[in-house]
Amino acid sequence: MADIRVENLHKSFGDFVAVKESNFTVADGEFFVMLGPSGCGKTTTLRMIAGLELPTSGAIHLAGEDVTFKRASARDIAFVFQLFALYPHMNVRKNISYPLENQGVPRSETRTRVEEAARILRITHLLDRSVSGLSSGDRQRVALGRAIVREPLAFMMDEPLGALDSELREVMIGELRALHDRLGATTIYVTHDQTEAMAMADKIAVMNRGSIEQFASPQEIYDRPASMFVADFIGDPAMNLIPFQAGLEVGQAHVRIAGAEIAVPTIREGVAETHLALGARPEHVALVDDGGLRGEVYGTEYLGTHQVVTVATYEGHVRAIVEAERSVRVGANVGLTFRPERLSLFDRGSGRAVSTDWSLGGPHHG
């Protein structure tokens, strides 16, 4: 097993920059997820780490060794492809054992290892079947089998659950995480699906247009988004970003939006008068009859355990999560209040979060 260190990794295709000065370290045994919208450079990063693509500049260290220019076949990394890439002319057993074939692994050992992998993935009964008749879930398991049978230094997985329907995906999320806990292998997992990322990751890198916007634990990313992009991308419903204009002074703990005084975490960074945004998760927004930021109920979405209420204010739509029992009338004039210590502030010009007690890692208040 091994740690992976990526330094200033850069990749351009002609004029187009696919990956921009990427830096991160994946600790030994960590489940690391690269999360971002389609086209943001996740696959390209993964392919460079695996040796399928040469970086334009930068370095990749695997288990302390510089492998930047090493051949893919010499890196001892397993890759699970977005298309499963099972060899159609081989049966399941042959597909799984294929990586062992040229490593001089004795026949009897190959057999035991393939069967062990099949047992872990619960596909023993499929071993002698052809891959063409398999369901996508089973194909996924065969692809994983081919990866784990090698006992490689690290696993790369490129949207391995993308082809599965949502029910099966949920099952596989659980299985993948359990598999990781069991094998303890360093894993880099690429997805555009925040649910997968949140459910499995030890660490997440949120990527946007070739750059890593934030590199942190799932909780950190959810609670303290480092940029407006992350705030908007993570969470369903997404974080409310309420625009306003102001200057901020160190020590200040209030902002004024449309006449309403809103308490925020203590500011730790002076900001000259500019366009800002207040970031509030819907679960940290409450409806009140009097006071607060005024608006009109625009719509409600009943979800059983709670309901999502959308309020139209002069600053735009704001969503709040409200108890399921409470009756909310569309068109009603309501006020919005916010849980002060959990709010984020963003500079709309740069998109970066403004430093506050909260963003700098203030204690979780439950």
Q: Which is nearer to ligand ADP, 229 or 338 (CB)?
A: 229
- Among other proteins, ligand ADP, Mg ion, none, residue 13 binds (CB under 5-8 Å by kind): ligand ADP
Amino acid at 50: A
SS3 content of the chain, % helix, strand, coil (to 5): 25, 35, 35
Quote the CA–CA distance of 155 and 5 in Å, as a whole number: 14
In the region spanning residues 31 to 50, those forming contacts with Mg ion, defined by CB under 5 A, are: 43
Q: Which is nearer to other proteins, 149 or 280 (CB)?
A: 149
Closest approach of Cβ 49 to ligand ADP, in Å? Answer: 12
Neighbours of 169 (CB within 10 A): 18
Closest approach of Cβ 328 to other proteins, in Å? Answer: 43
| Count, residues near ligand ADP per rule CB under 6 A | 11
Q: Is 292 in the site for ligand ADP (CB under 6 A)?
A: no
Quote the CA–CA distance of 246 and 272 in Å, as a whole number: 8
For residue 293 the two structure tokens come to 């930021």
Residue where the block lists tokens 């945004």 = 277
Range in contact with ligand ADP (rule: CB under 6 A) among 31-39, 167-175, 257-265, 349-357? 31-39
For residue 96 the two structure tokens come to 């799984």
For residue 11 the two structure tokens come to 């990749």
Please report, to the nearest 10 degrees, the dihedral formed by the alpha carbons of residues 75, 76, 79, 85 taken in order: 100
Q: Is 307 in the site for Mg ion (CB under 5 A)?
A: no
Closest approach of Cβ 293 to other proteins, in Å? Answer: 48
DSSP, collapsed to helix, strand or coil, labels residue 26 as: strand
- Among ligand ADP, other proteins, Mg ion, none, residue 284 binds (CB under 5-8 Å by kind): none
For residue 77 the two structure tokens come to 């990394």
Query: What are phi and psi for residue 364, nearest 5 degrees?
Result: -70, 135
Quote the CA–CA distance of 182 and 233 in Å, as a whole number: 31
Residue among 9, 26, 32, 42 that touches ligand ADP (CB under 6 A): 42
Closest approach of Cβ 188 to Mg ion, in Å? Answer: 13
Q: Is 191 in the site for Mg ion (CB under 5 A)?
A: no
β-pairing, 344-347 vs 271-280, is antiparallel
- Among ligand ADP, Mg ion, other proteins, none, residue 18 binds (CB under 5-8 Å by kind): ligand ADP
Q: Which is nearer to Mg ion, 43 or 227 (CB)?
A: 43
Chain residues in the site for other proteins (CB under 8 A)? 50-52, 71-73, 75, 77-79, 81-89, 98-99, 102-103, 131-132, 136, 139, 146, 150, 163
Residues that bind ligand ADP (CB under 6 A): 13, 16, 18, 36, 38-44
Residues that bind Mg ion (CB under 5 A): 43
